[in-house]
Every structure is written in structure tokens, then in C-alpha cells.
Amino acid sequence: MSDHPSIALIGECMIELRELHHGGLSRGYGGDVLNTSVYLSRLMGADATIRFTTLLGEDPFSLEMLTTWESEGINCDTVGRLTGRNAGLYFVRTDKIGERTFHYWRGQSAAREIMGSDWADLRAHAMGSDWIYLSGITLAILDDPGRERLLSELAVARKRGTHIAFDGNFRPTLWTAPADAAPWHSQVWDLSALALAGVEDEATVFGDATPEASLDRLRDHGITEIVIKRGPQSVLLHADAANQYIEVIPVGNVIDTTAAGDSFNAGYMAARLKNRAPAEAAHIGAMLAAEVIQHPGAVIPPSYMPTLL
Ligand code: ADP
């Protein structure tokens, strides 16, 4: 890996409205790929260029997001702003037993237009990075022609030497049925050098009976480095042609598991970009995720970031 790698992370960030106990609302911003971008930027600091690749709208919230990302050290030269559109929005409701439900207003969000012809130069810049990271949600928000275009641009980038990392994050509300996601996920897996998969997402989309079955299926795509995250259970890792189970960090007081997988991915990739071995990278990912789930929300205050690298 080069001394100063560049990583472009393609996704959507939305406005988050969270209902409070007394009926009020708090406002934040969130999105799976953005969460990974923030944590990766914090971990890599000046040692890498971390690009978030997205479209924002002309609303004031979009501008505030951009300012926040820049303050996190994220490179925003592949962030476009689309006139006539706004950022997407979701509402988080917590019921009496602490169960959260998510409701989305994202059908017209700016980020959905990222594969449009107006943004070809922005995408070409992102695709020139050493690594491209995306998730199943990146695919889910696009229409079929947008997905086709993304796949062909990823294939060209890969031929030129760009590595692709994919987390098959699956949100049922964004697809008509899990089976609709499967062919698109499969095509990204075909192009991926690194799989950062969640056990439930893989089982839902592909019907895998066990984590080991998911791993074997991902190996069939030719992927040589595979991580299967299993919540509080050990991580299943395939690297250097061998399988291993890496224990996660026990957490007694889980506050909010939002972004557990996203932060794990950032810890894992940062460690690998710094030439740490895959097993150590999985441990580092688990350490960051263990801290993140002890705080509310997706992105923890910088002062709580553990020293990992
Ligand atoms: P995803 O969101 O991708 O499905 P997981 O829920 O599997 O991700 O969690 C990702 C990582 O976060 C796990 O591999 C583990 O390291 C950590 N993690 C998640 N839940 C717990 C938990 N209850 N206790 C300890 N670690 C956890």
C-alpha cells in the first residue's frame, strides 16, 4: 500500500430527527458510509486522503453537513451540490421498551442523482482513488440504470488497479424484496477485494444457512479477504487462505449499537492501510466498535476515540 493512500467512500448522508422522551426532537446527520468515513478520517489523520463521495442539496442542512465533514478532516472534493433538491431525511422513534423504528423521506434526495451524466467528472475523480468503499445502501438508493453505470465504472477502476471494499448492508424498506438486492450485491462482490459483511444481511439477501456458508459463497466470488461480523459473537475472518474466529470485546453496558458495523469497518480498513495483519485489524475494528456502542448515536465525540494505531 502506498505511503499516502486515498479512499473514496460513496454513499448518502441524511438529516436525522430523533424523537425525545418528552415529545421534542433532536436533529443530527447520519448515513452508514458517512459514519465509516468519519471514523476512517479520525483514525488515518494526515496519513491518507479520505473522500466522501455524494451529492447534497441546496438546503441549509446540506451546507452544515459539508462544514462538519470538513472539520472531521474529510476531503470534500467529490461532494456535489444539486440545485432544486434537498438532503434526505429520516425520523427515529423509540418505543416504550427501547425498540427503535426508522421512517425515511429520501425518495427525492440529492444523493440519488450521483450517477447522472452531470456528475461524471466528480465520479471519475473518486474512481481514481486507491480504494473505493461502498455499501448495499449505496446500491439501494440508485435506480437500475444508475446501478449499471456504477458497476461499469467500478469495473474500469478495478482494471486500473483500484481496490474495492463492500459492506452488503441491507435495508428492507429500500428494496421490494431481498431477492431484488441479490443480483446487484453479487455483481459488487465480483469486483471486491475486501468483503466487510454482516451475518444477518448476507443471510437475508442470499439465504445463507450459516456464517460459514456466507464465507464460502463470498470466496466463490474470488474475494481473498473476507470479514463476517456477527454482533457480540466472534468475527469470522478469511485471509491468507485460512479461516479464523477473532473474539470481539465483551461490552457489559450496550447503549446503542448504531454504527457498530460501520465503525468496525473503519477500524479494520485503517489497520490494513497501515499494514497491520488481518487478524490484528479485526481486533482493532472490534475495539472501536466496542467503544461506539457504549455511546448514543452513530458518531461518538472525538474525545472518546480510543488510541488504536
Ligand atoms: P453490522 O452492523 O455490520 O451487522 P454487527 O452488529 O455484527 O455489525 O457489529 C459489528 C461489530 O461490532 C462486531 O463485530 C463487534 O465487534 C461489535 N459489536 C456489535 N455488537 C456488540 C456487542 N453486543 N458486544 C460487543 N461487541 C459488539
10-residue mean pLDDT profile of the chain (309 residues): values are: 90 93 89 98 98 97 97 98 95 79 90 97 98 98 97 98 98 93 98 98 98 98 98 98 98 92 98 98 98 93 96
93 located within any domain: no
Residue 156 belongs to what domain range?
A: 6-13+31-83+114-304
Beta strand segments in 46-111, E: 49-56, 79-81, 89-94, 100-105
Give me the sheet containing 6-10, strands edge to edge: 79-81, 49-56, 6-10, 131-135, 163-167, 194-198, 225-230, 233-239, 242-246
105 located within any domain: no
- Distance CA(220)–CA(229), nearest Å, equals 19
| Cβ(289) – ligand 1 distance below 6 Å | yes
Q: How far are the Cα atoms of 133, 187, 191, 193 from residue 222, in angstroms, in the given order?
A: 18, 12, 9, 8
177 located within any domain: yes
Ligand 1 center–CA 36 separation, angstroms: 14
| Cβ(155) – ligand 1 distance below 6 Å | no
- At 238, which CATH number? 3.40.1190.20
Number of domains the chain contains: 1
| Cβ(247) – ligand 1 distance below 6 Å | no
Q: Is residue 16 helix, strand or coil?
A: strand
- Count Cα atoms within 13 angstroms, Cβ side, for 204: 16
101 located within any domain: no
Nearest CA to ligand 1 atom 13: 231
pTM exceeds 0.95 for this model: yes
Q: Cα angle at 239 between 247 and 39, to 5 degrees?
A: 65
Under 8 Å between Cβ of 292 and 252: no
59 an active-site residue? no
* pLDDT given for residue 1 in this prediction: 59
24 located within any domain: no
Q: State the cell numbers at 81.
A: 451540490
